[in-house]
């Protein structure tokens, strides 16, 4: 004959500890999944129009490019130790990254230049490795401003080396960023741009001036 020696006060405590353990396990599983598999992300600006609109929801995969401190679902300031299982993006990939100017901020742009590429803007058109990137007119569209208003933009289809074709917006043809010096992308860096070419602080703009500069791969 067995005797239950558990006191009445101990049973609620055990139930509470069991519930806490289950909640902690769920939180840990979500944290690991967001750090290792994928994490939701909301587009904060119009810089990727017409491909992505303000407020669009993305599920950013973590594993295609490997892992670093930037992959964690919380902001952690850590020394640059490179990436584990690193893979470079392809030209045309849309990437989510921590902004080098403040790694607490998460941005989204398109990769147009890989290490070793020569990148330049001439007359509002992207040049890679001494050749203009094919561009085809695709009518007009409405480019949204961050204040909620919109303006008519010329829409084009740009086809990057490798065959990735994607739409871009051009509002004007002679903005300051339409003509740049040629840049050679160094190792472990990427040249990224927004599809809304006249409304994007990207690799054409230094970090000190609010842009991305040449994006470290470790920030993906």
Q: Minimal CA–CA distance to 137: which of 125, 128, 122?
A: 125
Give percent above pLDDT 70 in the chain: 71
Mean pLDDT score, 58-81 = 62
The residue among 117 and 9 whose pLDDT is bigger is 117
Write down the pLDDT at residue 71: 54
Q: Has 109 been annotated as catalytic?
A: yes
What is the reported pLDDT for 142?
A: 93
pLDDT at 5: 52
pTM, whole model, 2 decimals?
A: 0.78
Query: Please, what is the end-to-end C-alpha distance for the chain in angstroms?
Result: 63
Residue-level pLDDT at 1: 47
From 47, 68, 71, 200, the catalytic residue: 47
Annotated catalytic residue: which of 68, 109, 170, 200?
A: 109
Q: What is the pLDDT of residue 36?
A: 41
125-178 pLDDT, tens digit per residue, is 999 999 999 999 999 999 987 677 889 999 999 999 999 999 999 998 788 899
Segment 48-74 mean pLDDT: 74
In this prediction, residue 94 carries a pLDDT of 94
Mean pLDDT value of segment 31-36: 42
**Tens digit of each residue's pLDDT (9 = 90 or more) over 201-218:** 999 999 999 999 999 998
pLDDT of the residue at 191? 98
């Amino acid at each position: 004959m067995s005797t239950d020696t558990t006191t009445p006060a101990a049973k609620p405590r055990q139930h509470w500890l069991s519930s806490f353990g289950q909640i902690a396990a769920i939180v840990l599983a979500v944290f690991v999944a967001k750090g290792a598999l994928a994490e939701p992300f909301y587009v904060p600006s119009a810089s990727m129009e017409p491909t992505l609109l303000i407020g669009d929801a993305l599920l950013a995969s973590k594993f295609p490019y490997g892992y670093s401190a930037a992959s964690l679902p919380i902001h952690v300031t850590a020394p640059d130790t490179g990436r584990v299982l690193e893979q470079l993006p392809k030209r045309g990939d849309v990437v989510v990254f921590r902004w080098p100017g403040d790694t607490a901020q998460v941005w989204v742009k398109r990769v147009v230049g890989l290490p070793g590429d020569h990148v330049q803007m001439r007359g509002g058109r992207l040049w890679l490795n001494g050749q203009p990137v094919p561009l085809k007119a695709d009518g007009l569209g409405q480019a949204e401003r961050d204040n909620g208003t919109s303006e008519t933009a010329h829409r084009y289809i740009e086809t990057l080396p490798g065959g990735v074709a994607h739409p871009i917006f051009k509002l004007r043809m002679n903005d300051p960023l339409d003509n740049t010096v040629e840049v050679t992308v160094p190792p472990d860096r990427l040249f990224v741009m927004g599809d809304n070419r006249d409304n994007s602080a990207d690799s054409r703009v230094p970090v000190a001036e609010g842009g991305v500069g040449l994006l470290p791969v470790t920030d993906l």
